[in-house]
Amino acid sequence: MAEQKRPQVLLLGNGVNRAFGGGSWGQLIRDITCNASLPEDCTLHLPMPLRAILVTGDTVGAQLRKAGDILYGKLGDPGHTDMLRTLLDMGFDHILTTNFSYELEAAAQPDCAIHDPQLRQMLRHTDGCRHAEAKYLFYTYNQVSWRGREIPVWHVHGEGRKPDSMILGHYYYANLLEKITSYVRAEGARWKREQERGEVPIIRSWADAFLFGDVYVLGFGFDVSEFDLWWLLNRKKRERADTGRTWFFAPEVLSGDGINEKEELLKVLGVEVLHCGKTRAGGTPLQRSLGFRDFYEEAIAQIGALMRSRQE
């Protein structure tokens, strides 16, 4: 393959938001709980997608519509805004996020707030579809303008203003995975042709960015329930076309022994696991939050160094 600029891709989860007091996925589950048959103090151990079905009585979509407003809002902590703007400054060609909420879009605004009319103006899609999708946002993204650049931000599991697009529940994960597998089968010949011409495949969907970009995973824990992304990791390793590299950034935990099964599985699937910063398993919520902020600052510095080395 001739030397071409490989897309630099950030996969951003909810971790950065959590480090600055943002809500957790567990909090979202509590916000949409409406199943009266569950006791108030019930502790749930089901995987997240099945837990969503249980707590809503299998009315996930309806409850997400009611909870939609909590996914907007203004960024309050200046440190949070600064960190998100640092990520926007780094020169990523694409940003994939599993968040339903709009912190990145808000960070790009002068007042650090985002509203529906602005989001409508940002809405774009590739030639993979005729119109912006209402659900399963495979070809649809928000084009964020930042310091003279246009950055595609792909909400891979949906976004708050489109409740039907939000992937929460095994039914929706399985439908998305079927869409991904069908796409990969159909596009293989195109990828081969483009690479034979010495080109990086054209990004027509967020799956293309994931497979053929250098992907930096930050603030996303790769929970085992995220089986669409685990499948893509496996495909990225097996793909006959020339794919990009993947790095997973995790804090070095100061307590605890034994093997980290998830990190070992990531390595088996070709992911490079990089530890940086330190955090403690115990301590107060504030101490843990501050520890994670240190982790993100160090991880972002490492990502910047890796991106520079890939572009030299």
For residue 43, is it within any domain?
Answer: no
Contacts by residues 259-265 (CB-CB < 8 Å, ≥ 24 positions apart): 262/221, 262/222, 262/224
Judge whether 51 lies within some domain: no
The domain tally of the chain equals 1
Alpha carbon 172 to its chain centroid, in Å, reads: 16
Q: Is residue 248 part of a domain?
A: yes
Domain that holds residue 205: 8-27+68-311
Of 303, 284, 291, the C-alpha closest to 251 is 291
Structure tokens, 195: 């690479």
Please, which residues have CB within 8 angstroms of residue 312's CB and are 6 or more apart in sequence?
Answer: none
Percent of the chain scoring above 70 in pLDDT: 90
Band the pLDDT of 280: cuts 50, 70, 90.
Answer: low
Asked whether residue 281 carries a pLDDT value surpassing 90, the answer given is no
Asked if residue 207 belongs to a domain, the reply is yes
End-to-end CA distance of the chain: 17
Please, what is the average pLDDT of the chain?
88
CA distance 136 to 193: 27
pTM: 0.92
Q: Is residue 44 one of the residues assigned to a domain?
A: no
What mean pLDDT is predicted for residues 144-149? 97
Q: Is residue 36 one of the residues assigned to a domain?
A: no
Is residue 218 included in any domain, yes or no? Answer: yes
* Residue 35 belongs to some domain of the structure: no
